[in-house]
Amino acid sequence: MISGFAAEDDRQFSSVIEELSPRVFTSIRKFLNFVHSDRATFRLVEGDTDLRVNLEGVERAWQRAEHSRVDEDQIAVMGRLLGVIPIHRRFEFEVDGGQVISGRVGEEFGHSYLERISTEQFAGRRWRALLYRKLIEKIGRPPIQSYVLLKLEEETPGTVRTEDSQ
């Protein structure tokens, strides 16, 4: 992860930061701040990989960490499920108002839903979706949002039925 921050290629950094939790990001930022403030260099050895990070790499990594932000939260949105690809665990959901969001289907979503999708019609129906949202902000780039679908709740007259209650 740290080597992605120091990499010359910004695509490596982008790939790493998109997978980080805010807690891990904060730890990396603290480490890089410590190394940068002491004008130190370091070496990373893992298996067959041996990477030396010079002052230029430390500066690049520190700048990226200082000018980036990773936040996460859970949100609930109303809308229409457009579809789920069970094998690749991906979804598309049209939020009331027309915005289409997509992302991964979370582990917590449960195998019961993935089993039921082959026998029941889920797409096109109105749902309340519980989503995990991650916001990544990098200097000079528009913010990136990613989503993980955690749960669907169907509105029916007088009751709310969730995909977990069977």
Domain span at residue 90?
71-162
Q: Looking at the structure, do residues 75 and 154 belong to the same domain, yes or no?
A: yes
Query: Residue 164 — pLDDT band, cuts 50, 70, 90?
Result: very low
| Domain identity same for 118 and 50 | no
Q: Considering its fold, how many domains does the chain have in total?
A: 2
- Would you state the pLDDT for residue 28? 95
Q: What is the pLDDT of residues 49-92, one digit of tens each?
A: 899 999 999 999 999 999 999 999 999 999 998 988 877 888 99
User: Which helix or strand (DSSP H or E) is residue 90 part of?
Assistant: strand 90-95
Q: Are strands 90-95 and 100-105 parallel, antiparallel or unpaired?
A: antiparallel
Residues 103 and 39 in one domain: no
**Averaged pLDDT of the chain:** 86
Q: Residues 94, 55: one domain?
A: no
Same domain membership, residue 75 and residue 153: yes
Please indicate whether residue 139 or residue 39 has the higher confidence score (pLDDT). 39
Q: Tell me: do 156 and 75 sit in the same domain.
A: yes
Residue 160: predicted pLDDT = 46
Indicate whether 166 pLDDT > 50: no
Q: Which of 67, 85, 114 is the last residue in one of the domains?
A: 67
Specify the CATH number for the domain of residue 146.
2.40.50.320
CA-CA distances (angstroms) from residue 93 to 46, 51, 77? 40, 42, 10
- Of 67, 88, 109, which marks where a domain is finished? 67
Residues 27 and 109 in one domain: no
Q: Nearest Cα to 150, choosing from 128, 165, 135?
A: 128
- Reported as a single tens digit per residue, the pLDDT across 27-41 is 999 999 999 999 999
Point out the domain boundary residue: 35, 67, 99: 67
Do 9 and 88 have their domain in common?
no
Instruction: Give yes or no: residues 55 and 86 share one domain.
Output: no
Q: Report the 10 Å Cβ neighbour count for 51.
A: 14
CA–CA separation, 83 and 123 (whole Å): 5
* pLDDT band with cut points at 50, 70 and 90 for residue 163: very low
Residues 32 and 81 in one domain: no
What tens digit of pLDDT does each residue of 83-123 get? 888 778 889 999 998 899 999 888 767 566 667 767 777 77
